Structure 1
Amino acid sequence: MKLALVSDLHSNKEAADAVFAHIRAQGIQTMICLGDIVGYGPDPEHCVDLVRGHAEVTVLGNHDEALFHDAADFNPHARLAIDWTRDRLRPRWWSSSERKSRWRWLSQLPHRHTMGRYSFVHGSTRDPVREYVLSTDGFLNPAKLRGIFDSFEGVAFCGHTHHPGIHSEDLRFQGLEGADELTVALPEGHKFIVNVGSVGQPRDGDNRACYAVVTEEAVTWHRVAYDYRATMDKIMATGALHEILARRLALGK
């Protein structure tokens, strides 16, 4: 088994294209997407079609869900981006069949997926769409993290925080710390929570796109450089998405 795990593309075409090319170059045939295909960025149609055409399984992210429900709990910039994205994607009666099928596919995404000892969610196994598993939870909120560990068996893979790394049962977190690539063993009989990082909007201080490859024994994260300046320019050119959504791409924050 060898799976590519992507998450949090956030309508970033340049990052998504670079990551998918990196995955193809390794000869990996199977991909799972952990949600948040849309939101924040300028190219929702491209990213939805890319995931829909290549991922074997895609689970629902909170930004994907917000297209169909309420983004009232989002910050103003994220909420505006959802409103803009919804207007781009939602079909009208005269819309093309492709636009309608794209919207229908998004509306039917499952909350979780299980494969052997591996569970795949966007947020956490306790709340698969919205709960954040933060890198700081082990020492700032240990009761929360223990509760999440109690909610699953095996290894849980998630996204949502845009901060790649791994929590072990002792509640410690290991991040990438700027590494181009990092491999961590996943021995049987132990629990781990693995955050695969963000393709389209990294927030761990590294502006390169991030994704993970998992086998039966280990997980490996990869950082992939992309033309974030092109994405920044397109965000600004929309006249609707806030400039902070562009600036943070350069910072990886």
Structure 2
Amino acid sequence: MPTTLAVFSDVHANLPALKAVLRDIDARIGRGEADAVYCLGDLVGYATWPNEVVAAVRERGIPTIAGNYDEGVGLGSDDCGCAYVTDEDKARGTESIAYTNATVTDATRRYLRGLPRHLRVMLAAPRERKAEPIEVLLVHGSPRRINEYLFEDRPDDLILKRMTEAGADVLLFGHTHKPYHKALATETEAGETVYRHAVNTGSVGKPKDGDPRACYVLLTIDPERPKADPGYCSVEHVRVAYDVEEAARAVEASPLPDAFAQMLRDA
């Protein structure tokens, strides 16, 4: 039987966006359209609700890994591991992590500090089908580095190398805030063509793909189908509307840079 996972990432302290996504996921679970929920990290940073976002994820018991921002704040660091390009971006980033470090509670910081970097989910077919299990690896940036950017235009060979080294048939990751899905053909040692799937979940709270709506993924795995059939894994990027103005106005009313509010509006 196929299994569907709802997977989200990069909430970045945007509580209205997270609430909208969780409502959508709850409705799908209620209709039998999703079986489990996972989070790929970066719960905090850039917006005003880091404690509330962490509390919402913890209350639901959602399995969650650390994003680079979570790791930085969990360790009380002034470095979030972000690759800012301009001096202006670096200055805003400094303001953001300073605000977040000053805002999080001790309980929130302890939770962030204790998050794992990777999670692995193995989905198996009934024994009589004699099919190999599907290895699904959940990371934030890449299997190699928590803050590596696997953009869609990275060479397929590089992405396949990361996946092969990590033993992942399906790789779920975020960090870039730009959703995509690639089915990548590769050969086994026996010369058989099989497929690995690279899936960027996009961002719940800080999209960067021109669509301000929150984004998450419904990943459906059918372990009874062979890996030579790319259809063993199917992906739907779900966009969820939320009150962007509520989040933007909260940023503008805080010590955070007003530019972060406009980024939410403009995506």
Aligned mates of 2:157, 2:217 — CA distance in 1: 27
Aligned to 1:202: 207
Whether 1:112 aligns to 2:112 is: no
Long gaps (5+) in structure 1: 92-99, 172-187
Aligned to 2:258: 243
- 3-state SS in 1 of match to 2:165: coil
Whether 1:224 aligns to 2:224 is: no
- 3-state SS in 2 of match to 1:37: coil
Q: Which runs of 4+ in 1 moved over 3 A?
A: 142-147
Q: Residue 206 and residue 15 in structure 1: after superposition, are their counterparts in 2 closer, same or farther (change >3 A)?
A: same
Matches within 5 A, 1:66-77: 66-67=72-73, 68=75, 69-71=77-79, 74=82, 75-77=90-92
Alpha-carbon offset, residue 213 of structure 1:
1.2
Aligned to 1:64: 70
Matches within 5 A, 1:1-253: 1-27=3-29, 28=34, 30-67=36-73, 68=75, 69-71=77-79, 74=82, 75-91=90-106, 100=107, 102-116=108-122, 117-127=135-145, 129-138=146-155, 144-152=158-166, 153-169=168-184, 189-216=194-221, 217-238=233-254, 240-252=255-267
Aligned mates of 1:72, 1:202 — CA distance in 2: 18
Aligned mates of 1:2, 1:110 — CA distance in 2: 22
Q: Report which of the two structures shows the higher radius of gyration computed on alpha carbons.
A: 2
Q: Residue 146 and residue 212 in structure 1: after superposition, are their counterparts in 2 closer, same or farther (change >3 A)?
A: closer
Per-residue CA deviation, residues 71-112 of structure 1 (Å, 9 max, x unaligned), is 175422223211111111143xxxxxxxx3x32221100000
Alpha-carbon offset, residue 230 of structure 1:
0.9
**TM superposition score normalised by structure 1:** 0.82
Which amino acid in structure 2 is aligned with residue 242 of structure 1? P
Which amino acid in structure 2 is aligned with residue 232 of structure 1? A
Instruction: Check conservation: 2:7, 2:201, Cα contact below 8 A.
Output: yes
Instruction: Check conservation: 1:11, 1:37, Cα contact below 8 A.
Output: yes
Aligned to 1:97: none
Which amino acid in structure 1 is aligned with residue 27 of structure 2? A
Aligned mates of 2:80, 2:44 — CA distance in 1: 17
Alpha-carbon offset, residue 148 of structure 1:
2.1
Instruction: Check conservation: 1:90, 1:103, Cα contact below 8 A.
Output: yes
Alpha-carbon offset, residue 53 of structure 1:
1.8
Instruction: Check conservation: 1:31, 1:55, Cα contact below 8 A.
Output: no
Aligned mates of 1:203, 1:135 — CA distance in 2: 13
Aligned mates of 2:204, 2:176 — CA distance in 1: 12
Aligned mates of 1:4, 1:170 — CA distance in 2: 25
Aligned mates of 1:72, 1:51 — CA distance in 2: 21
Which amino acid in structure 2 is aligned with residue 157 of structure 1? L
When structure 1 is superposed on structure 2, of 225-234 and 64-73 the one drifting more is 64-73
Compute the RMSD of aligned alpha carbons. Answer: 2.0
Which amino acid in structure 2 is aligned with residue 24 of structure 1? D
Instruction: Check conservation: 1:11, 1:42, Cα contact below 8 A.
Output: yes
- 3-state SS in 2 of match to 1:71: coil
Long gaps (5+) in structure 2: 83-89, 123-134, 187-192, 222-232
Q: Residue 70 and residue 167 in structure 1: after superposition, are their counterparts in 2 closer, same or farther (change >3 A)?
A: farther
